[in-house]
Amino acid sequence: MSNRIKVFIVDDSAVVRQVVTAMLAQDPAIEVIGSAADPVFAQQKMAAQWPDVILLDVEMPRMDGITFLKKLMHERPTPVVICSTLTEKGAQTSLDALAAGAVEIITKPKLGLKDFLTESSGTLVRAVKAAARARIGSASAAGRPAASAPSPALPTRAMAKTTECVVALGTSTGGTQALQLVLTSLPENCPGIVVVQHMPEKFTAAFAERLDRLCRCEVKEAANGDRVRPGRVLIAPGGRHMQLKRSGAQYQVNVSDGPPVNRHKPSVDVLFRSVAREAGKNAVGVIMTGMGDDGARGLLDMREAGAVTGAQDEASCVVFGMPKEAIARDAAAQILPLAQIARFILHYGQ
């Protein structure tokens, strides 16, 4: 079938190559066209038939995955899913890969690898399908608005606020680059922001640390009881849900365990629904690039509670899934190019 998603696997583990090939082959929409133990062999094999998606390990002999990824994005941009060990070192390396253009991360343990991969087959298949739909380079390109194109005027917010405004952002595939662009555009006194980015545990701490070095505002992985305040961005930890709680005129976050919602933990819906309940009209919600529908219902709850809501537009999304679902439900009052989201936040969040 010529319309199947062609996947090439690059991993120095023969077990990974064998098990992942068998798992992906069970889905009729996917065809594994080859595999290689390192990027040098991979380049030779892919020259004969180029894949739609590359599943790439980041720690390999002869050429590391990051070097290969950068070379690939320069010479022939292709959607890449990173397969990384669930360690702090693996998290840092995978974030480098996302910054270099990879669209998704799949984690693997050092022990019990075969059983883990078999149990995670659904996650892997969804990641490959999301990557196949990704627009490589959308986030970085969309972040450079043409100087000749004036930004449209935003309407004045009519309803007065009685407490500090809370801004809630939700994103998934392609979100690390998109969030970096938005957050680095904000001043040090930006409104308090809470974020769910679909990411594995350990990775969100490294991601928050990276953003904190780049941004003028403070960015940190959220801990239970952290206060939401101007100049601070709290990112939900991987593997934990985050909810907003009101304490008098202030807000804080509650970080807790629980079952996945919409297959995700943290879930955007969990955060957005809590913001609708606790902050009501004193909130701004934006749903950004990602696959699936997590956050669409929660954004609608926010809008119905009086919050100002927006969704990233299709042209600037890496994957137009979550925003599309929110727009279809009439949850987003405005549809925004990525380059205008920071301005939207500042306009309505002050």
Q: Judge whether 256 counts as a catalytic residue.
A: no
Tokens of 135: 């627009």
Could you say which DSSP state residue 285 is in?
E
Residue in the block written with tokens 């690059």? 10
Q: At residue 306, what are phi and psi to the nearest 5 degrees?
A: 105, 0
Active-site pick, 38, 52, 293, 294: 294
C-alpha 89: how far from its chain's center?
Answer: 20
Q: Judge whether 198 counts as a catalytic residue.
A: yes
Tokens of 174: 């392609």
Decide the pairing of beta strands 192-197 and 218-221: unpaired
Q: Judge whether 294 counts as a catalytic residue.
A: yes
Q: At residue 36, what are phi and psi to the nearest 5 degrees?
A: -155, 155
Preceding amide of 266 cis, omega within 30:
yes
Active-site pick, 84, 172, 267, 316: 172
Query: Which of 243, 239, 257, 242 has the alpha carbon at shortest distance from 203?
Result: 239
Name 124's Cβ contacts closer than 8 Å, sequence gap at least 6. Answer: 20, 23, 24, 106, 117
Name 176's Cβ contacts closer than 8 Å, sequence gap at least 6. Answer: 95, 98, 99, 197, 199, 207
Contact 57, 84 (CB under 8 A): yes
Could you say which DSSP state residue 154 is in?
P
CA atoms of 255 and 253, how far apart (whole Å): 6
For the beta carbon of residue 8, count every other beta carbon within 10 angstroms. Answer: 21
Q: At residue 299, what are phi and psi to the nearest 5 degrees?
A: -65, -35
Active-site pick, 35, 38, 84, 198: 198
Positions annotated as catalytic residues are 172, 198, 294
